[in-house]
């Protein structure tokens, strides 16, 4: 029997990051529009199916992409559980914003966001040669705040009253990670693992 | 399993070159996304099958700057890769080779070497090219070893030409002229 | 907009990058006829063939503004005193990930040759490439017979990375192409 063709792009231990496909656009839109995501994440990913389709449309080689997102796939359970990606990629200043949504709630709290982001960071710094990554987290979103703190991103700024949710204003925090720090971190971890 | 349609254009001993086929765009996409394969073809962005559709539909009427083929394994009747010229300059009569064996099971079986032989034959004898080039990054040892084994010469070392896995690496460019190939080809045989 | 017209309707130049005798301004599709003339001028195009597209459609396409970041950034070279555009220059084949690009330059009007204006324009362009576009490497392909061009490149610190033999067919014979490179740290460390 012929193997199903898969679009694995990055391989991790528990997670794989796959190239997104037009066939699954409705699934991606469902995750992005989840009430939890809408209220507290306000991710930079477009919420409409049509805008998502536009990102996946064939483009001329001449124009540099400003958005790249990948499907998060749980290898053992053989299930797609969310999306992670880079938005507003600025190739001259070499920075981008991070977005992540674990859309299937059964998979929350298992460290999968952290693994997905680590794979994304390697891709951004080791393949795309970016200098800096930013994540904008709105303060009600404690789960996200914890994820970025666990990943040792530093909070570079707090924007006051940045979003209006549930009848009041909340602050947003900007977390940042630099290529230099990421590569050093991996070198140290690599050395530790080698012993 | 339904037979895949294939349209052979050049037949070799162990492999054949077939015309690119819209039916196979899912496979092309899986190769260009595959973590191990794309390391060597240096594909940096996730791609979906629709992007090949555009490529195949676009290039039909003009004089091509690119000519590509599917690589099929004869005995296994399996589509295993893609090869072609990715930069043909007709006035100056040279072209640059690109080759991807997309199925890792088929690596290290001398098939890359055989494919390179066939594409050189095609380029010199059918496209009437005078010079054919190929390039590879320094860590892509399999690729540039094929160039050397087949008799191409290293023309350029472009230092720190590409950023791969966190550091800048050199790119090697190889070349061969038709007059040289005419001498070399008679010494090569395939079992 | 980088352009104004004076009372007589003549184009006044407002530069993007200012030099002493020349300035670099964004390319202007109104000047397509000039670019085409320069591109086809037998003396000018003789050694430029590999670097600049050849047909009017190519030239238009090459310079047409596109939505988003492309692999090409082009300029017009203006003669400040005479207030006329005299050539084009820019970066092609830009690789934003590898942070390198091919540099091209043509002074299209023969009366402005041999006045070091090309050298001045290329210095402006190289500074821009390293300091603003964030390149780490700039490369150039110059044909062997074009001695003036590659002597200037070598004086500027370009290093010969290799020679592509019989690369292009000019006037009935093949000529070699000299491939030069310039790293950012070498440019910034050079003795002025």
ipTM of this predicted structure: 0.85
CB of C45 within 8 Å of a chain B CB? The answer is no
- Contact yes or no for C22/C77 (Cβ under 8 A): yes
Report the b/e string of C67-98 with b at 16+ CB within 10 A.
Answer: eebbbbbbbbbbbeeeebbbbbbbbbebbbbb
What predicted TM-score, i.e. pTM, was given to this entire model?
Answer: 0.88
CB of C185 within 8 Å of a chain A CB? The answer is no
Assigned CATH topology for domain C17-188: Aminopeptidase (3.40.630)
Is the per-residue pLDDT at B2 higher than 50? no
Domains and CATH numbers, chain B: 8-187 (3.40.630.30)
Q: What are the pLDDT digits (tens) for A58-74?
A: 777 788 999 999 999 99
The helix (H) or strand (E) run that includes residue B36 is helix B35-41
- Contact yes or no for C74/C89 (Cβ under 8 A): yes
A63: closest CA of chain B, how far (Å):
13
- From the CA atom positions of chain C, what is the Rg in Å? 16
What per-residue confidence (pLDDT) applies to C13? 73
Inter-chain CB proximity C166 and B131 less than 8 Å: yes
Mean pLDDT of the region A106-119 = 94
Could you tell me the pLDDT band of residue A55, with boundaries at 50, 70 and 90?
Answer: confident
Q: What are the pLDDT digits (tens) for B68-77?
A: 999 999 999 9
Is the per-residue pLDDT at A188 higher than 60? yes
Considering only CB atoms, C161 lies closest to which of B91, B156, B175, namely B156
What CA dihedral angle connects A119, A125, A129 and A134, to 10 degrees? Answer: 100
Question: Residue B73: beta bridge partners?
Answer: B15, B78
Is the per-residue pLDDT at C2 higher than 50? no
Inter-chain CB proximity A7 and B55 less than 8 Å: no
* Residue to substitute from B26, B27, B38, B46, interface A, most A β-carbons within 10 A: B46
Q: What are the pLDDT digits (tens) for C110-168?
A: 899 889 999 999 999 999 999 999 999 999 999 898 898 899 999 999 999 999 988 87
Q: What chains are in contact with C, requiring at least 3 Cβ pairs below 8 Å?
A: A, B
What per-residue confidence (pLDDT) applies to A71? 96
Interface of B with A in 58-97 (CB under 8 A): none
Inter-chain CB proximity A19 and B163 less than 8 Å: no
């Amino acid at each position: 029997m012929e193997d199903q063709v898969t679009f694995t792009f990055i391989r991790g231990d528990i997670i794989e990051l796959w190239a997104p496909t037009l066939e699954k656009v409705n699934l991606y839109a469902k995750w992005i529009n989840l009430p939890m995501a809408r209220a507290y994440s306000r991710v930079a990913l477009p919420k409409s199916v049509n805008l998502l389709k536009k990102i996946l449309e064939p483009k001329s080689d001449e124009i540099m992409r400003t958005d790249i997102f990948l499907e998060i796939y749980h290898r053992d359970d053989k299930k797609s559980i969310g999306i992670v990606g880079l938005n507003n990629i600025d190739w001259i200043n070499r920075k981008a914003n991070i977005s992540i949504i674990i859309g299937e709630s059964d998979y929350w709290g298992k460290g999968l966001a952290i693994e997905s982001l680590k794979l994304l960071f390697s891709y951004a710094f080791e393949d795309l040669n970016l200098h800096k990554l930013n994540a904008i987290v709105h303060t009600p979103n404690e789960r996200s705040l914890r994820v970025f703190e666990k990943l040792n991103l530093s909070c570079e700024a707090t924007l006051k009253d940045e979003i209006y949710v549930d009848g009041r204003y909340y602050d947003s925090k900007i977390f940042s990670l630099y290529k230099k720090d990421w590569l050093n971190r991996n070198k140290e971890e690599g050395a530790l693992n080698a012993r | 399993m339904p037979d895949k349609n294939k349209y052979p254009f050049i037949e070799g001993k162990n492999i054949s070159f077939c015309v690119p086929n819209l039916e196979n765009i899912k496979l092309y996409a899986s190769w260009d996304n595959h973590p191990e394969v794309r390391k060597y073809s240096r594909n940096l962005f996730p791609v979906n099958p629709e992007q090949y559709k555009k490529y195949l539909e676009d290039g039909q009427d003009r004089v091509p700057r690119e000519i590509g083929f599917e690589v099929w394994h004869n005995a296994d009747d399996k589509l295993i890769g893609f090869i072609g010229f990715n930069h043909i300059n007709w006035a100056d009569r040279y072209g640059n080779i690109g080759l991807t064996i997309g199925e890792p099971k088929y690596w290290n079986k001398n098939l890359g070497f055989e494919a390179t032989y066939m594409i050189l034959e095609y380029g010199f004898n059918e496209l009437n090219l005078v010079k054919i080039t190929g390039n590879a990054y320094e860590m892509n040892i399999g690729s540039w070893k094929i160039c050397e084994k087949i008799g191409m010469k290293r023309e350029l070392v472009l230092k720190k030409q590409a950023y791969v896995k966190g550091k800048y690496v050199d790119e090697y460019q190889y070349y061969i002229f038709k007059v040289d190939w005419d001498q070399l080809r008679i010494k090569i045989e395939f079992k | 907009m980088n352009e104004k017209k004076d009372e007589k309707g003549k184009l006044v130049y407002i530069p993007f990058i200012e030099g002493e005798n020349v300035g670099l301004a964004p390319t202007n599709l109104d000047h397509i006829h000039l670019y085409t003339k320069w591109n086809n001028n037998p003396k000018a195009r003789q050694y430029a063939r590999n670097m600049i597209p050849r047909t009017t459609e190519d030239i238009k396409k090459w310079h047409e503004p596109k939505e988003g970041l492309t692999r090409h950034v082009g300029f017009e070279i203006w003669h400040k005193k005479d207030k006329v555009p005299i050539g084009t220059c820019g970066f092609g084949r830009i690789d934003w990930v590898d942070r390198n690009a091919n540099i091209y330059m043509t002074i299209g009007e023969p009366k402005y040759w041999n006045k070091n204006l090309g050298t001045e324009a290329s210095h402006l362009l190289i500074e821009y490439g390293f300091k603003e576009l964030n390149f780490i490497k700039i490369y150039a392909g110059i044909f062997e017979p074009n001695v003036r061009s590659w002597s200037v490149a070598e004086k500027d610190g370009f290093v010969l990375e290799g020679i592509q033999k019989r690369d292009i067919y000019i006037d009935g014979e093949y000529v070699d192409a000299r491939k030069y490179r310039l790293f950012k740290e070498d440019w910034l460390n050079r003795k002025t």
